[in-house]
């Protein structure tokens, strides 16, 4: 019965969600960077023209960086070094330079009107020249203009605000480039031609075929190393390469829809922003697609029914993962916790996206919600109390047991009221299984935020202390052992919360007492690294730096970046000469709150985990150890240490071993906690 139901359910939605990764609304400029990554300027939704941003993805299609700020239909981004970009913020009629955090370092608005008295109107391209000036394609002013950093006009072609089709005018130009010989090439879009101009403003080359070969709204023209010109012929849905005589020597047709940008790569392939499908593709000379984004990484899914021992309810869960996930190719995992009284199924598209980013993303319906009702016989809403917390516990234990999961790298991503379920589980079941991090998106702190009479959704009086004793995140936060990230915009999604006191209370409660908080977590932070430092406490008069409300549209990207950051920040790192007779070099970094305290480590041929009652969950099987007993060390003042483990010369590679450190944690219920571990593969 359940299997039949799930098959029909998946047939309905999995095809539409198969693209994966961070979605693109309208790709404009696209560049292959020297490191092999791809920089994409996303104009955002073509319908609402919101959600514009710049992202960098690697060759596997995974998000590396994102420039998030209040952009409106941005068209291009050019790197200027050290994570900085020059951006054409098109509908805001400005060109800006931003740093890696999205902070505006320079804006054309600060120097407008320019020296000629003009302002920008729909700038769609801006390039930083070797002279330090900026070449801007100013579409609705029908001109190309080069300005210096003070707004002084250095060079111009076209008459400001006057369209035309002769040798002195432009009409709606796009994407001008300064060539190595000092000339400038531009797509004169509404005149359906490509022009090359010299420094004096004379037309030295023109491509404007007629008849069946005519261009229709070309928007990009690049001069190639062989002297040919690569042209994006947008409304003809094609890319053409022409030689200096205007003869077409190559074209891509029938593959793209209203393309915007095309770049010939050193390999001879062509990188194209394909606007209508909302994708970026790399094609070979035959037009075969060799790479695309989104959709670079194929994903799959499993369905699991996990029994909550506290309720007896079989909880419905979906486990989304990269298609190559398996025992020999493990991935970090995390569990979505829904807000309000929602189901996990609302995260399906998110789960597909995160699986394509290299995570095993797990969603589930808590007891009594969605499909977790034992065929409709259990519909009790626990409002994130102990029963649903225990259900989450069962889900996490199941996730930790999966052979494709990197059990050293498990986290939780909660939304809104889900923080109550997540924090309750983590406080009541410390290290069982070990969870590395908790990312909390705008969760409420206590009954003052969540009782219905106070603007929340829980229909229970705040005077019912027995009920609320297990349903206030603020109660549990001081007992969190995990890293804690709070994502919070200036204006909370709950309009009744106007000062973000809930974010401050939860952060302060989790932050370790060593740093002035009330908790035992070894690392906490509000928002991004560029917003606030770690292990800080705040007050309503002296708050954290909140995310701008303009970033609400980028919530999924912000969560993805937070997940990636925590997943690649282990507490234990292993390397060295991993051969028989060599040594494994190990280091741990637990933070200053544990400086001077002892720890123990061991290396095992097993893969655990084993629960040591009354102590902690340790990922060591009862197999013969390379080190027969746990070996003790002492953390330095910064909470770190480094050591080496000799590898016996008689080992027969390949052999896989597991190393883990257990450390004294004064705030933990047992007095101990466990670092994330690491696997070592011994080779010849």
Look at residue 11 in the predicted model and tell me its pLDDT: 26
DSSP readout, 39-105? Answer: EEEE---TTT----EEEEE-TTS-EEEEE-SS-SS--EEEEEETTEEEEEEGGGTEEEEE-TT--EE
Residue 10 pLDDT greater than 60, yes or no: no
Q: Against a cut of 0.95, is the pTM above it?
A: no
Three-state secondary-structure class, residue 7: helix
- Chain centroid, CA 301 distance in Å: 20
Please name which of 205, 130, 217, 220 lies closest in space to residue 171, comparing C-alpha atoms. Answer: 217
Task: Dump pLDDT digits (tens) for 507-563.
Answer: 999 999 999 999 999 999 999 999 999 999 999 999 999 999 999 999 999 999 999
Residue 196 pLDDT greater than 50, yes or no: yes
Q: Could you state, in order of their start, the residue ranges of all structural domains in the chain?
A: 2-23+80-293, 299-567, 572-682
The CATH code that applies to domain 299-567 is 3.40.50.1820
4: confidence class by pLDDT, cuts 50, 70, 90:
very low
Residue 84 pLDDT greater than 70, yes or no: yes
Copy the structure tokens of residue 5.
């139901």
Residue 657 pLDDT greater than 90, yes or no: no
Q: How far apart are CA 66 and CA 39, in angstroms?
A: 9
Task: Dump pLDDT digits (tens) for 14-41.
Answer: 333 344 688 899 999 999 999 999 999 9
The CATH code that applies to domain 2-23+80-293 is 2.120.10.30
Task: Dump pLDDT digits (tens) for 143-181.
Answer: 999 999 999 999 999 999 999 999 999 999 999 999 999
Length of the chain: 684
- Cβ-count burial of 98 within 10 angstroms (0-12 exposed, 13-18 middle, 19+ buried)? buried
Look at residue 679 in the predicted model and tell me its pLDDT: 76
Look at residue 8 in the predicted model and tell me its pLDDT: 26
Look at residue 3 in the predicted model and tell me its pLDDT: 28
Q: How far apart are CA 330 and CA 324, in angstroms?
A: 9
Looking at the DSSP bridge assignments, the partners of residue 659 are 603, 678
Task: Dump pLDDT digits (tens) for 606-620.
Answer: 554 454 545 555 555
Copy the structure tokens of residue 637.
């003042």
Look at residue 605 in the predicted model and tell me its pLDDT: 59
Look at residue 622 in the predicted model and tell me its pLDDT: 46
Please name which of 77, 21, 66, 78 lies closest in space to residue 530, comparing C-alpha atoms. Answer: 66
Copy the structure tokens of residue 107.
């804006």
215: confidence class by pLDDT, cuts 50, 70, 90:
very high
Q: Residue for token digits 């499993």?
A: 302
CATH superfamily of 572-682: Immunoglobulins (2.60.40.10)
Long-range pairs for 445-450: beta carbons < 8 A, 24 or more residues apart: 445/472, 445/473, 445/474, 445/501, 445/502, 445/503, 445/505, 445/506, 446/472, 446/473, 446/474, 446/475, 446/502, 446/505, 447/471, 447/472, 449/494, 449/496, 449/497, 449/502, 450/417, 450/420
Look at residue 20 in the predicted model and tell me its pLDDT: 62
Please name which of 397, 422, 541, 536 lies closest in space to residue 475, comparing C-alpha atoms. Answer: 422
Residue 83 pLDDT greater than 50, yes or no: yes
Q: How far apart are CA 167 and CA 36, in angstroms?
A: 39
Give the pLDDT mean for 493-505. Answer: 95
Q: How many CB atoms are located within 10 Å of the residue 649 CB?
A: 9
Alpha helices in 189-316 (DSSP H): none
Q: How far apart are CA 430 and CA 476, in angstroms?
A: 11
Residue 670 pLDDT greater than 90, yes or no: no
Q: What is residue 385's DSSP assignment?
A: S
Look at residue 618 in the predicted model and tell me its pLDDT: 55
Please name which of 289, 313, 324, 421 lies closest in space to residue 371, comparing C-alpha atoms. Answer: 313
Task: Dump pLDDT digits (tens) for 243-275.
Answer: 999 999 999 999 999 999 999 999 999 999 999
């Amino acid at each position: 019965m359940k299997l039949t139901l799930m098959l029909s359910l998946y047939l309905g939605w999995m095809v539409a969600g198969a693209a994966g990764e961070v979605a693109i609304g309208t790709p404009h400029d696209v560049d292959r960077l020297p490191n092999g990554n791809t920089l994409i300027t996303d104009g955002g939704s073509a319908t609402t023209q919101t959600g514009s941003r710049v992202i960098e993805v690697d060759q596997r299609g995974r998000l590396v960086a994102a420039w998030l700020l209040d952009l409106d239909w941005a068209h291009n981004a050019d790197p200027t070094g050290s994570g900085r970009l020059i951006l054409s913020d098109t509908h805001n009629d400005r060109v800006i330079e931003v740093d890696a955090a999205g902070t505006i370092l320079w804006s054309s608005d600060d120097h407008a009107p320019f020296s000629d008295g003009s302002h920008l109107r729909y700038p769609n391209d801006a390039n930083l020249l070797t002279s330090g000036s900026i070449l801007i394609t100013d579409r609705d002013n029908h001109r190309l203009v080069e300005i210096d950093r003070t707004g002084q006009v250095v060079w111009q072609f076209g008459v400001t605000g006057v369209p035309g089709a002769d040798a002195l005018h432009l009409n709606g130009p796009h994407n001008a480039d300064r060539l190595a010989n000092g000339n400038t090439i531009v797509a004169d879009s509404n005149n359906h031609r490509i022009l090359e101009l010299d420094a004096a403003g004379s037309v030295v080359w023109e491509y404007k075929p007629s008849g069946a070969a005519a261009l229709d709204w070309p928007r990009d023209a690049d001069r190639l190393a062989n002297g040919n010109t690569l042209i994006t012929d947008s409304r003809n849905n094609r890319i053409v390469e022409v030689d200096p005589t205007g003869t077409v020597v190559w074209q891509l047709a029938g593959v793209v829809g209203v393309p915007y940008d095309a770049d010939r790569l050193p390999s001879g392939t062509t990188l194209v922003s394909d606007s209508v499908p909302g994708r970026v593709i790399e094609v070979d000379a035959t037009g075969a697609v060799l790479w695309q984004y989104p959709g670079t990484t194929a994903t799959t899914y499993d369905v699991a029914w996990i029994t909550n021992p506290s309720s007896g309810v079989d909880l419905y869960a979906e486990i989304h993962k990269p298609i190559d996930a398996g025992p020999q190719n493990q991935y970090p995992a995390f569990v979505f916790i829904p807000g309000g009284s929602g189901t996990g199924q609302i995260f399906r598209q998110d789960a597909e996206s995160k699986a394509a980013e290299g995570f095993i993303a797990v969603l589930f319906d808590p007891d009594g919600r969605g499909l977790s009702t034992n065929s409709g016989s259990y519909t009790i809403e626990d409002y994130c109390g102990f029963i649903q917390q225990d259900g989450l516990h069962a889900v996490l234990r199941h996730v930790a047991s999966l052979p494709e999961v990197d059990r050293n790298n498990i986290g939780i991503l909660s939304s809104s009221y889900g923080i109550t379920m997540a924090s309750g589980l983590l406080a009541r079941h410390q290290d069982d299984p070990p969870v590395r991090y908790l990312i909390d998106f705008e969760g409420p702190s206590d009954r003052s935020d969540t009782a219905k009479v106070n603007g929340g959704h829980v229909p229970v009086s705040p005077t019912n202390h027995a009920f609320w004793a297990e349903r206030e995140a603020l109660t549990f936060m001081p007992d969190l052992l995990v890293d804690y990230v709070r994502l919070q915009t200036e204006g909370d999604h709950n309009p009744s919360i106007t000062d973000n006191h809930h974010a401050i209370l939860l952060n302060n409660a989790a932050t370790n007492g060593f740093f002035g908080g009330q908790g035992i977590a070894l690392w906490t932070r509000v928002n991004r690294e560029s917003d606030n430092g770690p292990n800080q406490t705040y007050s309503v008069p002296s708050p954290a730096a909140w995310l701008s409300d303009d970033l609400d549209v980028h919530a999924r990207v912000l969560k993805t970046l937070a997940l990636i950051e925590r997943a690649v920040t282990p507490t234990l790192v292993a390397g060295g000469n991993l051969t028989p007779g060599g040594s494994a070099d190990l280091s741990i970094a637990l933070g200053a709150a544990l400086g001077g305290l002892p720890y123990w480590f061991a290396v095992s041929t097993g893969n655990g985990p084993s629960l040591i009652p009354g102590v902690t969950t340790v990922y060591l099987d009862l197999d013969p150890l390379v080190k027969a007993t746990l070996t003790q060390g002492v953390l330095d003042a910064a909470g770190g240490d480094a050591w080496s483990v000799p590898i016996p010369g008689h080992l027969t590679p390949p052999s896989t071993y597991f190393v883990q450190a257990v450390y004294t944690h004064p705030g933990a219920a047992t007095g101990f906690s466990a670092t994330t571990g690491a696997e070592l593969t011994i080779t010849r």
